């Protein structure tokens, strides 16, 4: 059976911001830099769709592998497999 919609379907509750945090996003979060081997947490910024990962990885921790353009390649453990995600720095937080 074919799924209808994109990866953002059924994510209304997951991608909502607190009403006090709505508005313009912080530029320091948008332009933050990470070094390879640094540990980060995936936390989505719903206002920016570019470089967003699949919602099932929300809240997971990962390790920066390398920089790819403006984004970063992040290694994340998904049950028994190790997966590589390409994520914009606005969706990452330092651990």
Q: Which band of pLDDT confidence, cut at 50, 70 and 90, is reported for residue 8? A: confident
For residue 58, being part of any structural domain is answered with yes
Of 28, 95, 21, nearest to 59 by C-alpha is 95
For residue 31, being part of any structural domain is answered with no
pLDDT at 3: 82
pLDDT at 88: 97
Of 71, 31, 94, nearest to 84 by C-alpha is 71
In the predicted model, is pLDDT for residue 1 greater than 90?
no
Question: Percentage of the chain surpassing pLDDT 90?
Answer: 79
CA pair distance 59, 42, nearest whole angstrom:
5
Q: Work out how many domains the chain is built from and give that number.
A: 1
For residue 43, being part of any structural domain is answered with yes
Report, as an integer, the average pLDDT of 29-34: 96
Indicate the SS3 state at residue 38. coil
Contact 17, 90 (CB under 8 A): no
Domain that holds residue 48: 36-94
pTM listed for this prediction: 0.89
- pLDDT tens-place string over residues 58-95: 999 999 999 999 999 999 999 999 999 999 999 999 99
For residue 7, being part of any structural domain is answered with no
């Amino acid at each position: 059976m074919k799924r209808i919609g994109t990866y953002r379907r059924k994510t209304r509750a997951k991608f909502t911001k607190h009403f006090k945090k709505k508005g313009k996003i912080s530029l320091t979060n948008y332009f933050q830099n990470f070094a390879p081997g640094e540990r980060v947490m995936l936390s989505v910024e719903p206002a920016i769709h570019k470089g967003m990962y699949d919602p099932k990885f929300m809240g997971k921790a990962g390790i920066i592998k390398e920089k790819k353009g403006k984004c970063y390649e992040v290694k994340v453990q998904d049950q028994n497999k190790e997966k590589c995600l390409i994520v914009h720095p606005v969706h990452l937080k330092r651990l």
